[in-house]
Amino acid sequence: MSRIFSGIQPSGELHIGNYLGAVKNYAELQRSYESFFCIVDYHAITIPYEPEDLRARTREMMVSLLAAGLDPSTSTIFVQSMVPQHTELAWIFNSVTPLGELERQTQYKDKASRMESVPAGILNYPILQAADILLYRADLVPVGEDQVQHLELSREIARRWNARFGAEFFPEPQAKLTPARRIMGLDGNAKMSKSMGNTVGLLEPPDSVWEKLRPAVTDPARVRRTDPGTPEVCNIYHLHRAFSPPDVVANVETQCRTAGWGCIECKKVLFEHMNKELAPIRARSVEIRARPEIVDQVIGDGAATARRVASETMREVKERMGLV
């Protein structure tokens, strides 16, 4: 059976971008694959943060993941810093990763260009990501489009380590994208992201979802109500494709191209279908929050299972590398 691994930063609550781009896919794939899902708190400390806040966001992310349908009875859901082998393998991969490849990463260039002093952890971030995946010898990685370059580097690291120490030991992990590989921000920005403040929270109450949806950017060609639009350039259309049934999506296309509906009408229909999908998730989050011991249990059990698999991989890695 193939193994899947994915990591998600403890940004607190999920938003519909990382839900549609990744987490919804995790929930489907966990039925067919042996699955490991990791809240990557060691990745999160590469940018400035408050310790108490990080702890709360990590827990909150666990609640969101469980509410979104991750099933701890079939998947291993855990927190990265509770499994020390992640950083151990990352150090080992430091010795086979070309510096030039790290410097070429778009996310590194983006982040570094906005910082006065760049911590080495920002540069080495994808090495830890490769260690996350390869520690479980996973071959499939469900992620959004922004992670494709990091996964190419993970394959390169696997190849280099294999070439030096053990042909075929690590598989070359492939990205598994969804149709919603990149959800734009409601402000029309290229990517929905917490750091850009253009998100809709997965657990946000309906009123506040509508407050955000109503003024959201649509096709700029639709200045007046009577101006026809092009659905493909509109983020609202892409959200319909993720949330609405196929007949509704087809109707949205027609109504947009013929200016049959105004954008507000179109958003109302979207809101209704979003609610259908999100209401049960919100309800589950309330149940989970009422029973914090369940979250503790998942966190403890997940770490124990992950450590078992991870220590087995490290035993073989060390043996092949001449580490005592």
Q: Which residues bind ligand AMP (CB under 6 A)?
A: 8-9, 11, 17-18, 21-22, 143-144, 146-147, 181-183, 191-193
Look up residue 105 and give its two tokens: 């990463």
Active site annotation includes 276 = no
Whole-angstrom distance, CA of residue 195 vs CA of residue 192: 9
Task: Tell whether residue 75 is a contact of ligand TRP (CB under 6 A).
Answer: no
Catalytic residue among 24, 111, 176, 267: 111
Task: Give the bridge partners for 130, in sequence order.
Answer: none
Q: Could you say which residues in the range 16-55 bind ligand TRP, by CB under 6 A?
A: 40, 43
Per CB under 6 A, the list member of 13, 132, 204, 219 interacting with ligand TRP is 132
Helix axes 235-243, 246-257, angle to 10 degrees: 160
Task: Tell whether residue 134 is a contact of ligand TRP (CB under 6 A).
Answer: no
Residue 141 binding: pick among ligand TRP, ligand AMP, none (C-beta 5-8 Å cut-off by kind): ligand TRP
CA dihedral for 185, 190, 194, 196, sign (positive or negative): negative
Task: Tell whether residue 7 is a contact of ligand TRP (CB under 6 A).
Answer: yes
Residue 90 binding: pick among ligand TRP, ligand AMP, none (C-beta 5-8 Å cut-off by kind): none
Task: Tell whether residue 85 is a contact of ligand TRP (CB under 6 A).
Answer: no
Task: Tell whether residue 178 is a contact of ligand TRP (CB under 6 A).
Answer: no
Look up residue 43 and give its two tokens: 């990745």
Whole-angstrom distance, CA of residue 192 vs CA of residue 18: 8
How long, in residues, is the chain?
Answer: 324
Catalytic residue among 191, 212, 268, 276: 191
Task: Tell whether residue 11 is a contact of ligand TRP (CB under 6 A).
Answer: no
Span from 141-149, 191-199, 225-233, 264-272 in contact with ligand TRP (CB under 6 A): 141-149
Residue 21 binding: pick among ligand TRP, ligand AMP, none (C-beta 5-8 Å cut-off by kind): ligand AMP
Active site annotation includes 111 = yes
Element holding 8 (H helix, E strand): strand 3-8
Q: What long-range pairs does 41-46 form, CB within 8 A, spacing at least 24?
A: 41/10, 41/79, 41/80, 41/81, 42/80, 42/81, 42/86, 42/87, 42/128, 43/7, 43/9, 43/80, 43/125, 43/128, 43/129, 44/9, 44/10, 44/11, 45/121, 46/119, 46/121, 46/122, 46/125
Identify whether the C-beta of residue 6 lies closer than 8 Å to the C-beta of residue 150.
Answer: no
Nearest approach in angstroms of CB 293 to ligand TRP is 28
From first CA to last CA, the distance across the chain in angstroms is 31
Whole-angstrom distance, CA of residue 14 vs CA of residue 173: 25
Residue 133 binding: pick among ligand AMP, ligand TRP, none (C-beta 5-8 Å cut-off by kind): ligand TRP
Nearest approach in angstroms of CB 110 to ligand AMP is 13
Active site annotation includes 194 = yes
Task: Indicate which residues carry an active-site annotation.
Answer: 111, 191, 194
Interface with ligand TRP (CB under 6 A): 5-9, 40, 43, 129, 132-133, 141, 143, 147, 150
